[in-house]
Structure 1
């Protein structure tokens, strides 16, 4: 070792010993460092506990007391106070508008003013409420083995929907083929087109109910919208992409699940091309043209958690390639168009048809063609993207009686369950069911009339029955429906008709 190296080592040793002596003299032996580490550890632990509290609690507005999950993001004020944006905006509007006399408002009952001096002792904990625990929803992925066969789909629809055999058969096959297409995800070069549907039927024939039942059986998200609110982009009303936004909301903002859902556009006949109109058709033909790409399959940017696009709402991209579109409408006056087309065949001769042959036909809608829809006002490009067109029959008396008592959630079964909770048995005789169906036929609103009629006649019964615990059974009769008699009330152990209107037995 050289003398130079020895001098460097001796110098380093001297510096270390001087530092050690200095620490021993001042009492600094590293204890403060360990104390600082402990303080940091306690601070991190306290911070993690605060984060845990923030996860379990949410802020609420000091004025309207709405939680953050309802009112939106809160505005933090001094002294750990939070106010929602709506109350903040209303406060600024009230302060900037000079037309309000605050001295008169002080004595009005129900009007309160926020006094900041009263809030000095507000702590963060006192302005937080516990969040509601939401159970995570479990969705199953769609596979080709899980798709029920068409006959199974129709059998399930039969349990809820009465009649409409052709419509249920058509929908079962179309849905089965569509979800096979989605599940296989184009395994080869042969691309299967979408099976979008167009349902034509009078009001109350079960169009919306069929789609709701179908979506519930298949466990897929469903969005129902009216075409009456849709307008061309840039005008007042809902944009065409809003139908996809509703489907995304129905799927809990899960894009993958929404892309396998069903969109039902009701009142599709209201966007028919307007005739003899000099104004711009912003809610008719323009909407049909705007929906062409949507029906065929395209990438659509839709807002998350809102129906309209704005700068404050995030956007996401949804593909409509695998979304099943079902359009439905009553198409009034379409029967006249069909009759006019069929009447052209009438002529003179042995094979001529009578002019009034189709005048009183009950099943005219089943003879509809694409030509009739074009005459009605639907553009050919729109009809071409709805390849499956089928009709629903109007309801007759026998079908209305079956609707009352046969489906799983029939109206009569609902009332029987309500009275069963009061330990009362409810019965309807055949005459009463026939009378209800006859009244519904006069209203000409289909199955919707049944609920209104039964609500009217069950009002007094539902009001009077809970008064007497001795009532064991109520039988609704035809006389009660027609207003010439009353229901038969059976007490527990005896039978007794109660006196009703006009001296007749009833409630």
Structure 2
């Protein structure tokens, strides 16, 4: 019996510690304790702020209750007469706000995690070397991102050091331009994993002007707050990646209101530069039943990315604008076969595409990613830590089967992916196609020890080489044998 009592006491103390880390929220106005002030506790674990309690008493006095106060049904809404009334403890955790830590606790956390401590911030070459383990190619992009992230977090951490030299370092928000499947999202995901900071990935296609159907601009902050476990201080040091940013370009030749174009760019200006924004906790839209908290975007790193289709035409028109007749004149089709013409992009080209100057001015770092080549696709299959072929090898290793790929087979997969013009995304679809029969048939026979994939099998001209465990002799299976 004593053991049970001790365990109950331990569980109760754990729950109390859990609740202590979150702010109390007013049951009526849904404001947190940091905004509404100290809460008043009434039965059924309900918290009410002083303002709402005073308004309640004022309205009750105006009703002339004449001493019938305890028995009035009006009091039942506060839980005095209804024992099953949902109280403050029943608010889901995704709608609770974590309390801000004191300065001493912040310093302890900085020393333990090593992320937000200026002495433990990884240098650009270390960040790039970590990116090299996961991302193939894109050397220039990785170098630019490593330096920009390093300078950004140095700026964030230097704010804690009191210096009155009057020098303020500006934000280093980034704009990534690159074709589909070149690794924009994967680069940002890997970067957030290295730095151990909260990351929110959102899509600009659903953003609309306030008051219209769709997501408001502030919804990107609510996703970051959720990724930081509703810890405002942690979210204010996070990274927001806005993909498909080219979809909010100004619409041309349209008579209808541009609610998802230039107006969204105007609404994002305050976020990119830095301001205090009211953000709903646990929801993407503001309403009366969701508590609000204030998030300062001054130290949040914004990375925007997009494929910018037909931007090549804008660049070609600028480069060949001064063409004329003569021996030294440039030809109109000089850049038609240039695969990396996006690397010549300027802010003028982006303005011509439909991005407003105020928006581009808040994204000072603009860089491009290279289009995928056959060699890069072949390296993506084998070299990264989380390479696709390594994943399939691990899957078959769980069945005690060794999976091998010939070099010719790897390049054959890369050639097929290159023809699809969807970048690295095409690799998975091609591999799933020829690995389906193998993954289905191999678990049937426990005697199979090794499977070798050849280029003939990928081209549907031959079959994989199957080696049995006992004899060690290679046994050739036809496509019909695999299906049967």
> When the two structures are superposed, what TM-score results if normalisation uses the length of structure 2?
0.76
Tell me which of the two structures has the higher relative contact order, counting C-alpha pairs closer than 8 angstroms and 6 or more residues apart. 2
Offset at residue 464 of structure 1 (A): 1.0
Match of 2:374 in 1: 397
Q: Deviations over 1:193-250 (max 9, x none)?
A: 0000000000000000000000000000000000000000010000000000000000
Matches of residues 217-256 of structure 1 in structure 2 within 5 Å?
A: 217-256=194-233
Out of 278, 284, 289, the residue aligned to residue 301 of structure 1 is 278
Aligned residues: 382
Q: In the alignment, which of 318, 321, 328 is matched to residue 351 of structure 1? A: 328
Q: Deviations over 1:246-292 (max 9, x none)?
A: 00000000000000000000000000000011111000000000000
Question: TM-score normalized by structure 1?
Answer: 0.72
Alignment RMSD, CA only? 2.4
Q: Which portions of structure 1, spanning 4 or more consecutive aligned residues, are displaced by more than 4 angstroms?
A: 51-56, 136-141
1:14-413 to structure 2, matched below 5 A, reads 52=12, 142-185=116-159, 187-188=162-163, 189-413=166-390
Once residues 141 and 253 of structure 1 are traced to their aligned partners in structure 2, the CA distance between those partners, rounded to angstroms, is 19
Residue segments in structure 1 that go unaligned for 5+ positions in a row: 1-44, 57-130
- For 1:357 and 1:267, how far apart are their aligned partners in 2? 29
Structure 2: distance between partners of 1:453 and 1:376: 34
Change (3 A) 1:462 1:204: same
Q: How far apart are 1:169 and its partner, in Å?
A: 0.3
Residue 27 of structure 1 aligns with which residue? none
Question: Separation in 2 of the partners of 1:53 and 1:372?
Answer: 61
Partner of 1:494: 472
* Deviations 1:447-505 (CA, angstroms, capped at 9, x unpaired): 001011111111111111111111111000001100000110011132333432379x9
Q: 1:148 to 1:140 in 2, by over 3 A?
A: closer
Distance 1:311 1:497 in 2: 69
Q: Are positions 1:434 and 2:408 aligned together? A: no
**5+ residue gaps in structure 2?**
17-91, 99-108
CA distance in structure 2 between the partners assigned to 1:237 and 1:363 by the alignment: 35
Cα pair distance change 1:304/1:472, threshold 3 Å: same
User: Which digits, 9 at most, give the CA deviation of each residue in 1:416-466, with x for residues without a partner?
Assistant: 111111111110001111111111011111000101111111111111111
Partners of 2:114 and 2:120 within 8 A in 1: no
Q: CA deviation at 1:143?
A: 0.8
Equivalent position SS for 2:209: coil
Task: Quote the Cα distance in structure 2 between the aligned partners of 1:465 and 1:335.
Answer: 47
CA distance in structure 1 between the aligned counterparts of 2:303 and 2:14, rounded to whole angstroms: 44
Contact in 2 for aligned 1:178/1:194 (Cα 8 Å): yes
The CA distance in 1 between the partners of 2:472 and 2:14, in whole Å, is 64
- Say if 2:115 and 2:196, in contact at 8 Å, map to a contact too: no
* Cα-to-partner distance string for 1:48-104 (whole Å, 9 max, x where unaligned): 98x949959xxxxxxxxxxxxxxxxxxxxxxxxxxxxxxxxxxxxxxxxxxxxxxxx
Q: How far, CA to CA, are the matches of 1:173 and 1:454 in structure 2?
A: 36
Q: Secondary structure at the match of 1:494?
A: coil
> Which secondary structure state, in structure 1, belongs to the residue aligned with residue 202 of structure 2?
strand
